[in-house]
Amino acid sequence: MKMCSEANRSAKTSAQDNYFPDVLESCKEICYNIENAKAKWRKSDEVIRAMAVTKTVAPEKINFAVAQGFTLLGENRVQEYLSKKDFYDKSAEVQFIGHLQTNKVKYIINDVTLIQSVDNLKLAQEINRLALKNNKVMDVLVEINIGDEATKSGVSADMAEELVRQAAELPGISVKGLMAIPPVGSGEDVFDKMHGIFLRVKEKSIPGVSMDILSMGMSGDYELAIKHGSTLVRIGTKLFGARKYLEG
Ligand SMILES: *Cc1c(COP(=O)(O)O)cnc(C)c1O
Please count the other Cβ atoms lying within 10 Å of the Cβ belonging to residue 62.
23
Kindly calculate the radius of gyration of the chain based on its CA atoms and give it in whole angstroms: 18
53 lines ligand 1 (CB under 6 A): yes
Which candidate, 167, 102, 169, places its Cα nearest to that of 140?
Answer: 167
pLDDT in tens, 190-202: 999 999 999 999 9
Q: Average pLDDT in the 136-142 region? A: 98
Please answer whether residues 141 and 98 qualify as being in contact, where contact means their C-beta atoms are separated by less than 8 angstroms: no
Q: Is 231 helix (H, G, I), strand (E, B) or coil?
A: coil
Which candidate, 197, 215, 199, 238, places its Cα nearest to that of 114?
Answer: 215
In whole angstroms, give the CA distance from residue 98 to residue 78.
Answer: 8
Backbone angles phi, psi at 138, to 5 degrees: -95, 130
What's residue 185's pLDDT? 84
Taking the centre of ligand 1 as the mean of its atom positions, its distance from the CA of residue 207, in whole angstroms, is 31
Q: Is the pLDDT of residue 189 over 50?
A: yes
Name the residue with the closest Cα to ligand 1, atom 11: 234
127 lines ligand 1 (CB under 6 A): no
Q: Is 74 helix (H, G, I), strand (E, B) or coil?
A: strand
Residue 203's pLDDT band, with cuts at 50, 70 and 90, is: very high
Mutate to test the pocket of ligand 1, among 97, 149, 215, 234 (most ligand atoms within 8 A of CB): 234
Q: Is 101 helix (H, G, I), strand (E, B) or coil?
A: coil
Task: Report the atom number in ligand 1 closest to the C-alpha of 222.
Answer: 9
In whole angstroms, give the CA distance from residue 64 to residue 13.
Answer: 9
Task: Report the atom number in ligand 1 closest to the C-alpha of 237.
Answer: 8
Taking the centre of ligand 1 as the mean of its atom positions, its distance from the CA of residue 218, in whole angstroms, is 6
Instruction: Please state, rounded to an integer, the average pLDDT across all residues of the chain.
Output: 93
pLDDT in tens, 72-85: 999 999 999 999 99
What's residue 11's pLDDT? 47
CATH number, domain 2-240, options 3.40.50.620, 3.20.20.10, 3.40.50.150, 3.30.450.20 = 3.20.20.10
**CA distances from residue 117 to 15, 68, 100, 102, 174 in whole angstroms, order as listed:** 39, 27, 7, 11, 13
Please answer whether residues 64 and 18 qualify as being in contact, where contact means their C-beta atoms are separated by less than 8 angstroms: yes
In degrees, rounded to 5, the angle at the alpha carbon of residue 101 between the alpha carbons of residues 95 and 104 is 70
Taking the centre of ligand 1 as the mean of its atom positions, its distance from the CA of residue 53, in whole angstroms, is 6
In whole angstroms, give the CA distance from residue 194 to residue 180.
Answer: 8
Q: Average pLDDT in the 129-135 region? A: 98
56 lines ligand 1 (CB under 6 A): no
Task: Report the atom number in ligand 1 closest to the C-alpha of 239.
Answer: 9
Which candidate, 86, 71, 94, places its Cα nearest to that of 9?
Answer: 71
In whole angstroms, give the CA distance from residue 140 to residue 83.
Answer: 23
Task: Report the atom number in ligand 1 closest to the C-alpha of 220.
Answer: 7
Query: Can you list the alpha helix ranges (DSSP code H) found in the chain?
Result: 2-5, 10-13, 21-41, 59-67, 78-84, 105-108, 121-133, 160-168, 188-203, 222-227, 237-240
38 lines ligand 1 (CB under 6 A): no
In whole angstroms, give the CA distance from residue 214 to residue 220.
Answer: 17
